[in-house]
């Protein structure tokens, strides 16, 4: 297990955990449910989302074998049958509005075993979830070619006109009935919306009118693949032709190793509505050139061109040095759709070299990291506020509209609050414009604690600001509340004086701070003051209004202070 873990790491993968079906079920549902499950050891391997060629055992083993230099990378070839003998897929113009694209191929004389068959089905499922974007971009259909006869037609018809026996069902249904049938199916119901509201549904027929599939929902039962299937017809329909080609390439390259002639695929011809034809799968090999200096510089190593080429060859990118070592020519196989740019090639060279083998060096740029002044001030204040006997709270940056408006006695339109477009819960509708509601909710949740409750928080609030590039601005606020049988205004006032003392702001008008009586919707009339410092209003302090206290489900008087600490940095 440890060796395999190390191998995965070297190859740029992660062995997530070693488990068994029994373990998984007992973790999720308890030991009772796991009684009959298998004890076979399972490896859970994390594969990067762009490496579609490692999503099945065949591809993963092949990749690791090439990486360990035990085998050479196989050469995938497509066999184009003699004129008139190959399979044909004809696309009609009706498909244009639902699923315009289709590609196809044939795996000849394949030998399935139970394991290979399961892997074949599993790969399709993984591709559906990943690159096919839950079948929205591409849907894969695989059929037993010996049960049908070409040429095949990909068309779109009204739901009432399509009638066939879906996979693993015992009777025929029309397309509309199939939709109703699978509405409760835990697996298939997620795909119904893709075509449900379209006037025509896509469907593939053979020359005798047998339904192969109704993509992206279900295949027909007639063409079901079994362990005895020898010839497989694969079709991928979709809304994105590039992804469809990639998906087809991945499936045929992974499973062509089980054909009588390993790594060979029989091509199929696709006829478009305009009469043009195209041969699939493309299985395109292409050549790229990358300078060895670039690879060395980007990774921070110093290797010869020939050893770099060897590293890349181990990563399934067959390479050799050309032009006396001034360039490396890399052949990108059809399995590696993820190689788009030279950076992808350099990354593979780094993986093969081994990230742990790259020498650590101090960067050439001379920069010394420093704490942001605002954060430094915040940290210093936190310590002293805790020393003053207040407890720090950390509350959510999002809250409901009521918290910052109705409960504080103001209207939401005056708060300049930033609203969330489609909030998951009523608790998270807006970004907070004040820290007070969070602290009052914290007190409400801790009413069982002995009095007095003295809480503070220093965090960011967000308000709309049309002058910034993102349309909103953050301010660092400090808020403190005192909750006891008496309001304790003098305690909050004393805390303000202590904070100003720490910030070295004297209590005078010229260059210090002053407080001036004012009214605030959240405060008791005649018990609220505005705080002025640095020539501007920085916040308010006072005794909270009884209405505010009851709206937050509190029962005792409470005084609060909230200021903006930005001006003091």
Task: Choose among 111, 113, 93, 114: nearest CA to 102.
Answer: 93
Q: CA 111: distance to chain centroid?
A: 36
In sequence order, the 6+-apart residues with CB closer than 8 A to the CB of 387 are none
pLDDT at 132: 92
pLDDT, tens only, 6-64: 999 999 899 888 888 888 877 777 777 777 778 888 889 999 888 999 999 999 999 99
Percent of the chain with pLDDT over 90: 69
pLDDT at 211: 92
Residue 120 has pLDDT above 90, yes or no: yes
Omega before 452 within 30 of 0, i.e. cis: yes
Confidence of residue 308 (pLDDT cuts 50, 70, 90): very high
pLDDT, tens only, 518-533: 988 889 999 999 999 9
- Mean residue pLDDT of the chain comes to 91
pLDDT at 313: 93
Look at the block and give the residue holding tokens 């061109």.
305
Is the Cβ–Cβ distance between 225 and 167 less than 8 Å? no
Confidence of residue 330 (pLDDT cuts 50, 70, 90): very high
pLDDT at 409: 85
**CA 176 vs CA 206, 210, 221: distances in Å:** 21, 18, 17
Confidence of residue 479 (pLDDT cuts 50, 70, 90): very high
Which token pair is 137?
Answer: 């971009």
Cα distance between residue 220 and residue 217, in whole Å = 10
Q: Strand 201-205 to strand 391-392: parallel, antiparallel, or no bridges (unpaired)?
A: unpaired
Look at residue 328 and give its three-state secondary structure: strand
pLDDT, tens only, 395-440: 999 999 888 888 988 888 888 889 988 888 888 889 999 999 999 9
Cα distance between residue 384 and residue 380, in whole Å = 7
pLDDT, tens only, 195-213: 988 999 999 999 999 999 9
Does the global pTM surpass 0.85? Answer: no
Is the Cβ–Cβ distance between 352 and 311 less than 8 Å? yes
Is the Cβ–Cβ distance between 330 and 290 less than 8 Å? yes
Give the DSSP letter string of 240-298: -HHHHHHHHHHHHHHHGGGBSSTTEEEEEEEE-TTS-EEEE-----EEEEE-HHHHHHH
pLDDT, tens only, 73-112: 899 999 999 888 889 999 999 999 899 999 999 999 999 9
Walk me through the domains of the chain, giving residue ranges and CATH numbers: 1-46 (3.30.56.10), 77-168+191-280 (3.50.40.10), 291-329+338-357 (3.30.56.10), 373-568 (3.30.930.10)
pLDDT at 242: 93
Percent of the chain with pLDDT over 70: 100
Residue 228 has pLDDT above 90, yes or no: yes
Confidence of residue 508 (pLDDT cuts 50, 70, 90): confident
């Amino acid at each position: 297990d440890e060796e395999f873990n190390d191998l995965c790491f070297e190859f740029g993968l992660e062995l997530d955990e070693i488990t068994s079906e029994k373990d998984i079920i007992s973790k999720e549902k308890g030991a009772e449910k796991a009684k009959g499950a298998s004890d076979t050891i399972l490896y859970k391997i994390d594969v990067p989302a762009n490496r579609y060629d490692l999503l099945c055992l065949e591809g993963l083993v092949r990749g690791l074998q090439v990486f360990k230099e035990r085998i050479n990378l196989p050469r995938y070839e497509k066999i184009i049958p003699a004129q008139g003998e190959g399979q044909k897929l004809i696309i009609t113009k009706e498909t244009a509005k639902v699923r315009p694209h289709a590609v196809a191929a044939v795996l000849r004389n394949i030998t399935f075993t139970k394991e290979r068959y399961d892997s074949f089905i599993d790969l399709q499922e993984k591709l559906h979830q990943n690159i096919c974007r839950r079948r929205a971009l591409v849907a894969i259909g695989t059929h037993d070619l010996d049960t049908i006869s070409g040429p095949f037609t990909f068309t779109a018809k009204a739901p009432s006109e399509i009638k066939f026996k879906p996979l693993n069902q015992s009777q025929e249904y029309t397309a509309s009935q199939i939709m109703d049938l699978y509405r409760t199916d835990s697996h298939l119901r997620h795909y119904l919306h893709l075509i449900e509201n379209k006037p025509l549904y896509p469907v593939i027929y053979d020359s005798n009118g047998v339904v192969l599939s109704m993509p992206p929902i279900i295949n027909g039962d007639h063409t079901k693949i079994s362990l005895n299937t020898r010839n497989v017809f694969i079709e991928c329909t979709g809304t994105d032709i590039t992804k469809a080609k990639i998906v087809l390439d991945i499936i045929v390259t992974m499973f062509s190793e089980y054909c009588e002639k390993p790594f060979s695929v029989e091509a199929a011809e696709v006829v478009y509505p305009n009469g043009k034809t195209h041969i699939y799968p493309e299985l395109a090999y292409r050549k790229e050139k990358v300078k060895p200096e670039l690879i060395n510089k980007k990774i921070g190593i110093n290797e010869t061109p020939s050893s770099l080429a060897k590293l890349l060859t181990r990563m399934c990118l067959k390479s050799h040095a050309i032009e006396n070592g001034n360039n490396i020519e890399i052949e990108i196989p059809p399995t590696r759709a993820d190689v788009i740019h030279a950076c992808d090639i350099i990354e593979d060279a780094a993986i093969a070299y081994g990230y742990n083998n790259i020498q650590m060096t101090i960067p050439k740029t001379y920069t010394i990291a420093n704490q942001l002044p605002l954060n430094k001030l915040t940290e210093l204040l936190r310590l002293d506020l805790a020393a003053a006997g207040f407890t720090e709270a950390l509350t959510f940056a999002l809250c409901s509209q009521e918290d910052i408006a109705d409960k504080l006695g103001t209207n939401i339109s005056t708060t300049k609050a930033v609203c969330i477009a489609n909030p998951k819960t009523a608790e998270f509708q807006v970004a907070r414009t004040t820290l007070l509601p969070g602290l009052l909710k914290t007190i409400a949740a801790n009413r069982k604690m002995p009095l007095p409750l003295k809480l503070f928080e220093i965090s960011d609030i967000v308000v709309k600001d049309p002058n910034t590039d993102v349309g909103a601005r953050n301010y660092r606020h400090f808020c403190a509340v005192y909750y006891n049988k008496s309001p304790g205004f003098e305690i909050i006032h004393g805390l303000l004086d202590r904070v100003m003392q720490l910030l070295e702001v004297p209590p005078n008008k010229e260059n210090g701070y002053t407080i001036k009586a004012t009214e605030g919707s959240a405060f008791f009339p005649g018990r609220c003051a505005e705080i002025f410092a640095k020539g501007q209003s920085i916040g308010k302090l006072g005794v909270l209004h009884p209405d505010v206290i009851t709206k937050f489900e509190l029962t005792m008087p409470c005084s609060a202070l909230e200021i903006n600490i930005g001006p003091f940095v």
